[in-house]
Structure formats: C-alpha cells, structure tokens
Structure 1
Amino acid sequence: MKEDREKQTQPLSVTKVREFNIPDVMGILHITSYQSDRLWISDKYGNLVQTDLLGNVIQKIKTSGGSDGHHTVTQNGDLIFTDIVNKVINKTTQDNNITEFIKPGVWVPLSIHSSHINGDLLVGMTGYREARVTRYNKTGREVENIQRDNRGQKLYSKPHYITENINGDICTSDYTKGVVVVNKSGQHRFSYKGQKSKFRPYGICTDVFGHILVCDYHANFVHLLDQDGQFLFLLLTQQQGIHGPYSVCADEKNLYVGQLQGTLSVFKFLQ
C-alpha cells in the first residue's frame, strides 16, 4: 500500500525559479499568499511586509510582536494578525485601518489561519499549562474550542502554526506534539512526529492536491505528507539550496519557502 501511494505521488516535484532577500526583514517566519502576485511576510521582530514576487516591498506594518504563524489574509483581502503581548487579534483592512478584532481573554493567540472554505478563523492558543485551537466565524464570534482527544488527552502544547486542508481538516504544527490534524468537527485524525526522534516542526501549509507540507528547520527538510498523514517523501532538502526552512506557503502556481537568515525561495510545482 505504501509503495502504491509513493508511485501515485512521486511525480510531484519542484523546480526553483527564483530566490531573493527582502530589505530590512530579519528572518522569514511566516508567509501568506495574497492574490496572484502578492505575499505577506512576517519576521522575528514583528514586522509585517507585503511584497511582490520579486521581493519589492509594497507596504510595511510594525506590530508589537507576534508568534511564528501570526498572520493570515481573509477572502476579502483583509490582513489579520495576532498580538501575543496584548493578547488580541487585530484586523487591517485594505485601506490600512488597524482595529482590535478579537480579544481571547487570558489566552495568548499564537497562530491564525483564515479558512478558504467558509471564511472562519482558526486560532492556535496557549494558556496556563493548556493549549487549544479556537474557531471563530467571520464576525469574530467564538464557535468551537478544540483541546483534547476522545480519551481526554491534550492535543496541543504550543500550536505555533496552523492551516486547513482541502477536506476541512485543521492542521497544526506544534513544537512538542508534532503535526496534529483534527477534522472539521475537532475530532483527532492523526499526529505525525517525523522520521527521526528530534523532529520539531515549524511552518506548515497544504497544497491544491491535499498534501501537507511541513518545515523541519533543524534538519533542513520540507516533509510531504498525504492528507491521511502518510509520509510520502522529502520534497525539499539541502540539494535544492534549502538551509533552515522556517516557513512554507503554497498557492495554485507556486511554492514559497522562507528561511531564517532572510532568504525567500520560489518554486514551481511540477506534476
């Protein structure tokens, strides 16, 4: 069965088309694709930068500090980002007005993703010895909290990146729990803990085929999983010039990989 999966998926490969550094960006911690020729990028100092696909800066927002996967773009084009210092979620409309959108109370919002399926916001949070994923609707109303599996065990420790698959599964990258995937109802589907014992996942995304891509920063790999959690192969390694992959984003045309030293690599999917 495993061999059959690999035969079906192995033709997926990538070819690098360009690589660039963005001025005054100190480490590319998270990438969000916006329209067909725009990216939002955040660094370790709380800078949010919008660029084109050549690295030209279009606009820049200085925030008081976020976590790794702390921004997303809605279906309407609004930028939403977390503020871990003030424990709020802010919204920036296209006319550049910044407002407080959601106040999670005692919870610290780490990661955020705007659903392409229904516009809901998925937020990874931490609290006192607890962590959870909260679903909000478009208006910011809390809809659901996901915290434990059906045996009462904690699902999350530090969900610092979050995304959604084409089937509605919520996929998180967690420092100590690995890749944790629950279905759209919050039921635990599977966890992926890498191919080696020291696996610590960072950036995570899904592609149009339903694959899950996750950065293995310390090993210089980007792992490729199918939507059921089966490891397929290492999509990117040092052979493709990847050094310290920290963030990853896929749209219908390209794959973007951000590295901690500030380099952004653009790849084409080949099928």
Structure 2
Amino acid sequence: MMDPRTSAQDVMRCDLCKTTVVQMHCDTCLVNLCKACVGEHISTDESKDHKVVKFQSRKSTPLYPGCKSHEKQQCIMFCKQCDIPVCASCIESNEHLHHELSKILRVLDKKKERITKERNELNDTIYPTYQDIASDVQNRMSQLEKEYGDLSTAITKHGEDWHREIDKLVQKLKAEVDEMKITQLQTLQKHLDEINKTMSDIKGEIDSIDMATDTNDLSKLFSVTSSVHIYRNLPHQIMPSLPKFMPKKIYKEELFKLFGVLSSSSLTSDKHGYKMKTTQKSTEAGSFPPVKQLLDEPETVTTIHTGYRSLYYVACLSDEEIWTGGNDSTMKLYSINQGSLLKSITTKSGNTPSDIAVTKSGDLVYADYDDRTVNIVKNEKIEQVIKLQNWRPKGVCSTSSGDLLVILHSDDETQTKVVRYSGSTEKQTIQFDDKGIPLYQSGSYTTENRNLDICVSDGGAKAVVVVNHAGKLRFRYTGHTPAPKNKPFYPPGITTDSQSHILTADYNNNCVHIINQDGQFLRYIECGLIYPYGLCTDTNDNLFVAQNGNKKVQKVKYLQ
C-alpha cells in the first residue's frame, strides 16, 4: 500500500514535522509550517523578523534585499544616482546626500513591468520568429533535396543518350552534384543547429524570468537580467544557389567538352533576410517567398500604347491594371490584358506629376514638384497629404508598413534627402552618412526592398544608393561593364521583386539592370527597350517598363 506521506497525490506537509498538513507559511524564510511548529521555527533564528502568515496568504510580505554595507539591514529605498538599493543607515551616513531616492518597491515594480514586457516579447515574438526561421531552413533543405534529385535525373537521362561511352563522365558529374548537395546541406544543418540552440537559450531565459516574476523574493527579481537585445539580432538567412546542368550535342571525339558541365553552387548569407514575426498580416514580414531563378532569356509578354508625348511613370494597381504618367497633368489607368484605357485622373493643380505610386490599399499617390505637395486619390477625389516649404517632392513610394517614402529636393537644388511620412507626420529623415557626407547628389526615384532597405536611383550621381531601414549606407551601385551600348550608366526608375532583386532602368543603354540585395550585378534585360524610364513589378514578378522612346509600357517576364 502506498505511503500517504510520500504519495504524489497527497496534500502538502509541514517542512519541520513532515506529518501535519500545512496551515501556515513564513514569508521571511519561505518555509511551510503547521500551527504546532510555528513557535519552534521562530525560536531557531530569533535574529530574523519572521513574517508568519496563513498558507493561503503566502508571498504577501515583501522580502527586501539585505544591505551590502550594513549587516542585517534591509534596503527599502533605491538610489538612482548610484543605481543600488540602500538601507536607513546608508541614508543617515550622508553617503547619498542630495541623491534622488525612491522606494525600492516602486523601482522594482517598474523593473518587473519591463522584464515582463521583455519576457512577453521573447515568448510571443522572438521565439515564434526563430520557430519560423527553423521551419524555413528545413523547407529549404527539403527543396534542395528535391531540386538536386531533379538535377541528378536530368544528368542521368542525358547520360543514357550517350550510352556506355560516357558512363564514366556521368558518374563523375553525379558525384560532383552529391558533393555540392552534401556541402550545402551540411552548412544548412549547422545553421539549423545554431538556430535550435538559440531557441533553447531563449526558452531557458523565458523560464528564468517566469520563475523570478512568480516569487516574492525581491532579491531574485532584482538580480534578473534579460538578453533580449541580443536575440533581436536575427541570424543571417542562408540562400543556397543551385548549379545548372547544361547539356550539349553528342560528338564522341569531344565527350568531355560537349557532354555538359555543372556551374558552381553557392551559399549566400544575408543578415537582413529574416524579419521579426508580427501579429499583423503582412506578406513582407510574415512569410518567405519561393526561390525563383532568372530566365536565360527574358521575354516580352505584352505592350501597352499610352498616347503620351513623353512617358515617364508606371505603377501596378493589380496584376490586371497599371497607372501611368507622362508629360502632362493626366494620370491614366490601363487594362494590361486588353490595353484599353479604363480611367483618367487630372492633378489638382494642373501640374505634371513628378512621380506616382500605389498604396497597399490600392489608392493612387502622386508627387507635385511645382506645387510642393504629395497627394492621394481616394474614390477619384484628391486629398493633399503633405505640403512642403523650402523643399519640393520628386519621387514617392508606398512601403510595406503603409508609410510614404518621399525624395525631396531643396529649392536651390543643392540638397536631396529621403523622408518617411506616416500620413502627414515626418518620422525619419535620411540625408547624410556616418561621416556627415551627403548620401545623395540628386535623387530621382525610390523604392523599398523586401528586406526593408531603401533604394534610391540618383541620376545626378549616376548611381543606385541603398541604405538599410535605419538609414545607414549599405552600398552604391554605379553600373556594370560592358554595357549594351557602352554608354554611361544613367538610372531613372527603380523597383524590387519578391526575391529582393533591385531592378533599375538604364536610360542611356536601353536596358534594365538586375542586381541582388547586396549590390552584385546579375544580368541585363534588353528585350528591345527604347529609353526605359519608369519601372514596377506585379505580385507575380512581371516587370513593367515605361519607355520614353516609344511611349509604350512593356510587360516582361524574367523569372521562372
């Protein structure tokens, strides 16, 4: 028969006699007692001020920390200048004369509130984000397995066409594929192990905070520190790049040259790849896009005639409709599939817009350089959002958070800056680098990348300038050589896609440059473009190019 005193289902027993049911609790010593043992407990250490309460009222008495300078003194005050708890003797010694003192309970209440908030951030935001990151890495590993399997199958099929003469070469190439796969999977596994370890550390810290906040021992609570600032710095996102198999025609005398070769594989690490998990519904922050490869040859899908004398701007309203702007005060909405004009809006001032954009809610936004305003069109009614003094708006874009990024030129055209607005409220200004040097010479147009970088085409500097979300310079892109027409790089329009590629028009070279989010050139898009100016992409990563040369918008497919 189970001993009722040791059964897990038994009620709590007195810590002294071990037999009687608990009735009392000493808040000073954190000891459970029966009524008969209270006297014995108090007599064992009469130097302490024992606070014995009913068991149901335990933890009701604050346990003040002991003073390090005065033995057996309790600290009920806190010195803000010295950042330490102090007792009555400390105060009487004049050591903290003229210092600002606060009741320690008030200080600890604020700390408890802060660390509880940080604990909630760890539990509700950071830890779930790491869970998503771990899932993303696992998904990429599964995708690698599949794609490497497809690659091996392609090599095998091509090898069968060459019969026994090329068996040795087939095995050699498959071994290279396996080696690349193993290398990339090992790298991703190591990355996943590091993420899982961090998740374990975060969980441990959450448990530590929970234990500290669930006790009335103020010394334990006061000693709690949080590493949440460390975990806010998310790990780099590793993006594997698959090799390509390029088969060639069969000529036995040149087997090793013509059978086909594998391009090199790569793994890139992007410190800005992951975003902190949010409770808001946001494609940019809450999900990871499928990896898409660049097409070997971009292709034109359709062309839309706009009728402007000079065509400058294009902005996607949806996958079926685009807004355009040119040399007059009218902004036109076109059907992409039909090429037909659906709607026209004239600027409130009658001026030519200096740029157009579409918000997340589908409203048209335009900048009016001469009128010094930024305006939004809702239900075909124009509302002024921003009115400037001494500055004029050039480029405008709507961000994933719903803010507006506006490029501003000073009246004397000697200064350029990027300003973030929430409605009409200025939230952020980006103008100088860490050394106080201007970032922009004459910024034209701007866009936000998926990693929240702010990308600006600077026609005056003949460069693309990219800063991070905080406004710190990441890189400048000044073109690639050889250029299609060997003319100087001149970037007007700029846009990004789901892969965090940055696409910028090159007016002089009749092409579009594609660079990755770190500024590395990937390829040109030509497709017969004539003086490309404005750019935008739709949700399927189709590129729309407003061409000033022929006044047409060209829809181009460039990703698989």
User: Structure 1-normalised TM-score?
Assistant: 0.90
**2: CA distance, partners of 1:270 / 1:223:** 14
Provide the residue aligned with 1:257 in structure 2.
Answer: 545
- Corresponding residue number in structure 2 for 1:270: 559
Question: Could you tell me how far apart the structure 2 residues matched to 1:39 and 1:17 are?
Answer: 15
**CA displacement at 1:268 relative to structure 2:** 2.3
Match of residue 245 from structure 1:
532
SS of residue matched to 1:112? strand
Corresponding residue for 1:208?
498
CA contact (8 A) 1:213 1:225 kept: yes
How has the CA–CA distance of structure 1 residues 268 and 187 changed in structure 2, closer, same or farther, with 3 Å as cutoff?
Answer: same
Separation in 2, partners of 1:185, 1:12: 36
The alpha carbon displacement at 1:169 in A equals 0.4
Aligned to 1:145: 429
Q: Cα deviation per residue 1:215-270 (whole Å; 9 max; x = unaligned)?
A: 10111111010000111111x12xx2211111211112221111102011112243
CA deviations on 1:158-202 (whole Å, 9 max, x unpaired) are 221110100000001111221001111111111111125721111
How far apart, CA to CA, are the structure 2 residues paired with 1:154 and 1:125?
13
Say which SS state the counterpart of residue 76 (structure 1) adopts.
coil
Q: How does 1:53-64 map to 2 (within 5 A)?
A: 53=336, 54-63=338-347, 64=351
Measure, in 1, the Cα distance between the counterparts of 2:365 and 2:519: 29
- Equivalent of 2:405, from 122, 125, 128? 122
Runs of 4+ off more than 4 Å: 8-13
SS at match of 1:219: coil
Contact 1:190-1:229 at 8 Å conserved across structures: yes
The AA in structure 2 aligned to 1:256 is F
What's the offset of the Cα at 1:44?
Answer: 2.0
Letter in 1 for 2:405: L
Counterpart among 475, 497, 500 of residue 190 in structure 1 = 475
Question: 2:537 & 2:297 partners in 1: Cα distance?
Answer: 13
Partner of 1:107: 391
Q: 1:113, 1:122 within 8 Å by CA — same for their partners in 2?
A: yes
Partner of 2:439: 155
* Residues 15, 270 of structure 1: 8 Å contact kept: no
Are 2:305 and 1:16 equivalent residues in the alignment? no
Q: Any idea what the Cα deviations from partners look like across 1:45-75, whole Å, max 9, x if unmatched?
A: 23211111032111112231222xx111111
Structure 1: which 5+ runs fail to align? none
Larger Rg, first or second structure (1 or 2): 2
Q: CA deviation at 1:89?
A: 0.8
Distance 1:157 1:66, change over 3 A: farther
In the alignment, what sits opposite 1:47?
Answer: 330
Q: What residue number does 1:226 align with?
A: 516
Q: Which amino acid aligns with 1:88?
A: T
Write the distance in 2 (CA, Å) between the matches of 1:218 and 1:184: 30
1:26 corresponds to 2:309: yes
Q: C-alpha displacement at 1:135, in angstroms?
A: 0.2
Deviation at 1:11, TM superposition (A): 4.4
Q: Is the 8 A contact 1:9 1:232 kept in 2?
A: no
2-structure distance, mates of 1:100, 1:12:
45
| Pair 1:176-2:441 in alignment | no
Q: Please report the RMSD computed on the Cα atoms of aligned residues, expressed in angstroms.
A: 2.0
Q: Secondary structure at the match of 1:201?
A: coil
Distance 1:216 1:183 in 2: 23
* 1:81 counterpart = 2:370: no
Paired with 2:470 and 2:296, the residues of 1 have a C-alpha distance of 30
**Is the deviation greater in 72-81 or in 203-212?**
72-81
Give the match's secondary structure for 2:508: helix
| Preserved contact between residue 48 and residue 60 of structure 1 (Cα < 8 Å) | yes
Contact map agreement 1:146 1:186 (CA 8 A) in 2: yes
* Residue 17 of structure 1: how far off its partner (Å): 1.4
CA contact (8 A) 2:375 2:385 kept: yes
Query: Which gives a bigger RCO, structure 1 or 2 (Cα 8 Å, sep 6+)?
Result: 1
User: What amino acid sits opposite 1:193 in the alignment?
Assistant: T
Q: Contact conserved, 2:397 with 2:404, CA < 8 A, in 1? A: yes
Structure 1 residue aligned with 2:489: 199
1:131 maps to which residue? 416
| Alpha-carbon distance, 1:12 to partner | 6.4
Greater helix percent: which structure? 2
What is the rounded CA distance, in whole Å, between the counterparts of 1:43 and 1:257 in structure 2?
Answer: 13
Work out the CA distance in 1 between the residues paired with 2:474 and 2:335: 37
**Cα distance in structure 2, aligned partners of 1:150 and 1:65:** 36
Q: Distance in 2 between matches of 1:36 and 1:200?
A: 28
- Of all paired residues, the percent bearing the same amino acid is 33
Counterpart code for 1:195: H
Structure with the higher strand share, 1 or 2:
1
Checking the alignment, whether the CA contact within 8 Å between 1:33 and 1:249 is kept in structure 2 is yes
